[in-house]
Amino acid sequence: MKIFKSLTKSLFFLSILISFGFSTKAQSADEGKTLFNANCTACHAINDKIVGPALKDVHKRREESWLIKWVKNSQAMVKSGDATAVQLYKENNESVMTSFESLTDVQIKSIIAYVKAESEAPAAQAATATVAGSNTNETANTSNDYKTEINWLLVIISILLIAIISRIFGILNKIGEIQGKPVINWTQTNGLLVMAFLIIGLIATFWEFYVHGKLTVFAMGSASAHGDEYDNMFMITLGLTGVVFVITQILLFWYAYKYKNDGKRKAMYFPDNHKLEFIWTIVPAVVLTVLVIRGLMTWNNIMYSKEENAREVEIFGYQFAWDARLAGADNKLGAHNFREIGKVNALGVDTTDEKAKDDVVVKELHLEVGKPVNFHFRSKDVIHSAYFPHFRAQMNVVPGLPTKFSFTPTVTTADMRNKLGKPEFDYVLLCNKICGSAHYRMKMVVVVDTKEAYEKWLASQKTITNQPVNNSIASK
């Protein structure tokens, strides 16, 4: 009995251990997913090569310890002459992978667990997908290949066309030589063509405004307090330049049509007229004065805006992602030092600083609607540009030069989604200064919340001192 009892006891413990083990494993893949999306997706996907290679089955290709070393500092491995590392570096055209020294071994393991899970899982999904949509798969295949019959036909037709046109050229030239004058009267033809170009061009311009104008951020309306003033300035400029554009283009092409040589015309000797010249110097000058004054007012209002109760947020840019640091309850950002980047934490924030204790670092930026925000920008490596198109906000992120920009979001994400009728819509912060190979994927989702939702979200975030850090490095 005693044995039985101890057996059940140990079984009980075992089952707890196993279930715990399972749950940690599941939890680790979950954590891995979050980490993967935050750190890896700029350059990697599971099944496709993006900037870096596809990660499917990477756990089978490489040792776990090798992967951990690689993720932390791939360049060191290449330098140390590790054969696989050197080959991988060469294969990927010597693109340097970002070092993630602040990720702990456990975190990297969880990412690997996630990749492993993803590599194995989709097999079932893919099977069902092919059954359900073999048709779509086929069309997808053909659309990915440019060598279709139609394209070959196009090539043949264009070659034939070129041959025919050049033949016609030759014949026309011969006829022209025999007749002693060119066959096509280009002055007449051009007269017709300029008018056709003018009319079709103007119609196309208006069509463009009508069709593609809807896709611009101006059609969407601004989502920030200063955005309305910005849009106003834009519309004034659009109106004035639009009028000038239409008038001058009409005059240009109409003159080309009207005054073309017809064999009888005699040009008017009209070398200058001071009155006319005076008018068309003064009128643009006055119009531009209006635009300059209005522009300066807008510029100064935006750049020198000072809001008393603004929240302080730091945007930290690096190849190829953004981190946002919120100031926490004290609304003061803790000190940072670039030499500490990647050591104690990824941002080089001094965790002993009192102000830093409640700072929160996030990968998805939440803002509270109607609450002004002062953004402070900092770069780890090269110049980036933090661009929030929907908020009419942008500022370069320059290593060694603190830059700032302030705005007040006025429309919540939910409201904007309703307004646009697009449930997937998200505000974004994107990189707008060439910064390397994955520049085009360097983005952060920005969510504008109501006050309650914002506070709830903020409360759920860990402060920087509570976030897991690589203690082995920190202790050094």
Segment 20 to 39, residues that bind another protein, using CB under 8 A: none
- For 385, residues 6+ apart whose C-beta sits below 8 A from its C-beta are 394, 395, 396, 397, 431, 432, 433
Q: How many residues does the chain have?
A: 476
Q: Which residue stretch of 7-15, 121-129, 247-255, 324-332 sits at the interface with another protein (rule: CB under 8 A)?
A: 247-255
Question: 47 to 86, contacts with another protein by CB under 8 A?
Answer: 49-51, 73, 75-76
Q: Is 383 in the site for another protein (CB under 8 A)?
A: yes
Of 112-141, binders to another protein (CB under 8 A) are: none
Listing DSSP states for 163-183 in one string gives HHHHHHHHHHHHHHHHHTS-S
Q: Does position 213 bind another protein by CB under 8 A?
A: yes
Please select the residue that binds another protein; options are 121, 299, 329, 474, rule is CB under 8 A: 299
Kind and range of the H or E run holding 436: none
Nearer to another protein, 425 or 457 (CB): 425
Q: Which stretch binds another protein (CB under 8 A): 110-118, 360-368, 434-442, 453-461?
A: 434-442
| 216 touching another protein, by CB under 8 A | yes
Residues near another protein (CB under 8 A), total: 123
Which residues inside 136-165 make contact with another protein, applying CB under 8 A? 143-147
Q: Which of 437, 450, 461, 465 binds another protein (CB under 8 A)?
A: 437
Give the range of 26-34, 127-135, 440-448, 460-468 binding another protein by CB under 8 A: 440-448
CB nearer to another protein: give 34 or 73. 73
Cβ–Cβ < 8 Å for 74, 85: yes
At CA 384, angle to CA 400 and CA 438, rounded to 5? 135
Binding to another protein, residues 386-415 (CB under 8 A):
387, 389-390, 392-396, 398-403
* Residue 107 CA to its chain's centroid (Å): 27
d(CA 183, CA 176): 5
Task: State the nearest-atom distance from the C-beta of 377 to another protein, in Å.
Answer: 8
Q: Which of 339, 421, 423, 472 binds another protein (CB under 8 A)?
A: 339
Out of 16, 18, 129, 434, the only residue in the binding site for another protein (CB under 8 A) is 434
Q: Give the 3-state secondary structure of 347-406.
A: CCECCCCHHHCCCEEECCEEEECCCCEEEEEEECCCCEEEEEHHHCEEEEEECCECEEEE
d(CA 231, CA 240): 14
Provide the minimum distance between the beta carbon of 237 and another protein in the complex, in angstroms, as a whole number: 6
User: Distance of alpha carbon 120 from its chain centroid, rounded?
Assistant: 30
